[in-house]
Amino acid sequence: MALVVQKYGGSSVATPEQIRALARRIVARHDQGNQIVTVVSAMGKTTDSLVAQARTLAEHPDPREMDMLVSTGERISIAMMSIAINGIRPGLAVSFTGSQIGLITDCNHGDARVLEVRGDRLRQTLDQGKIPVVAGFQGVSTTREITTLGRGGSDTTAVAVAAALGADVCEIYSDVDGVYTSDPQLAPAARRLDTVDYDTMLEMSAAGAKVLKDDAVEYARRLGVRIAAGSSGSGQIGTIVCNECLNRDTLQAMVYYERLRWVAYDAGVPLPADCRLCQSIDGRTVVVVDAKYAGGMEGVPCCSLSLIGSRVAAQKERVDTVLDMLERAGNRVLAISSTVLKYEIFLEDPLPQPLVAAIHDVLFGADAT
């Protein structure tokens, strides 16, 4: 018997029909002798709709009230999923909000950090042979206020719950069946990775890959939670993320991301969340920040192309090939930033999809070395 935490994203629970299909799968997994905890996001685009409605009432809604508002989406999902499961097996499922399971966060409304999960009620429910259905994305602060964990926060909820319960695995289901060498929508020849180590996955998430939230990966790495990424449609697991999955290949993935801003650095201005300080090609110190965190900072749009893998910056031939392809396409490089695991190129203009695919195929195609 295994203790499994499963997370299903908003696109997986967008309709009653999808919820009913997942409920059947969850009950079947439970009937195989497993203990199951299910974490769900808000249905479809519920959160986006609530945010849009709030902004018709106020240009800058109060963060506390926004958390009260958007956290309702997950409450709908957990009730719907529990109703569906209990429709198959009466009394099998019990729904819980983040505060009810003791998911404690700091006081940062809209992007709170998980401090602990007490989990006593989850253990009691599991011991009764039932399936807890948990609201992702939300918790309660140390001052007893409802908080939310930011975009992709249901991933973090699932990992935090798995760590608190000592689960055998945390399964993250989405509309993508695992982690790929690049976004298959941009690079159709992208290959699925069977295994990825935490550090590589963290760099991919931080660079803009959408499969797993970077906070969730960091939490999993710190607490040793084994993550399995799979397809909500098929229920099949495609990629395992864990400490034992140390990849020795020198290049693992390529991530292209457009929603960035390029801002001149001012030492007197506080830096926003998740920004990078780097040197531009002309020697200036600049701030590159995700547009969603830019706030009122002035800047110009830019994008990034990240090569991720062990000692990637030392692979001069591959790096030079990419830079040559960008130059021939007429795309000006603004800055380059490199670490042991990531070589990140900041670009002035967006890349056309065929060029992204061509760069990927040069790096990862059959002739790549």
Give pairs for 108-111: CB < 8 Å, separation 24+.
108/147, 109/63, 109/64, 109/66, 109/67, 109/145, 109/147, 109/148, 110/63, 110/66, 110/67, 110/148, 110/150, 111/148, 111/149, 111/150, 111/273
> Which CATH code is given to the segment(s) 3-174?
3.40.1160.10
Beta-bridge mates of residue 117 = 103
| CA separation, residue 211 to residues 23, 54, 257, 295, 354 (Å) | 23, 28, 13, 25, 22
Highest mean pLDDT (candidates 68-82, 238-252, 311-325): 68-82
Q: What is the pLDDT of residue 369?
A: 52
pLDDT per position as a tens digit, 235-292: 999 999 987 766 555 789 999 998 777 776 665 666 666 666 666 666 665 666 666 6
Give me the chain's average pLDDT, please.
Answer: 89
Highest mean pLDDT (candidates 152-161, 313-322, 326-335): 152-161
Q: What is the pLDDT of residue 237?
A: 94
So where are the chain's domains? 3-174, 253-364
Q: What is the pLDDT of residue 207?
A: 87
The number of residues making up the chain comes to 369
DSSP character string of 279-306: EBTTS-EEEEEEGGG-TT---EEEEEEE
CATH class of 253-364: alpha beta
276-279/285-290 β-pairing: antiparallel
pLDDT per position as a tens digit, 170-227: 999 988 889 999 999 999 999 999 999 999 999 998 888 888 888 899 999 999 999 9
User: Which conformational region is residue 91 in: left (phi greater than 0), alpha (psi within -120 to 50 degrees), or beta?
Assistant: left
**Rounded average pLDDT over 337-358:** 91
pLDDT per position as a tens digit, 98-157: 999 999 999 999 999 999 999 999 999 999 999 999 999 999 999 999 999 998 899 999
Cβ-Cβ contacts under 8 Å for 119 (sequence gap 6 or more): 101, 102, 161, 164, 165
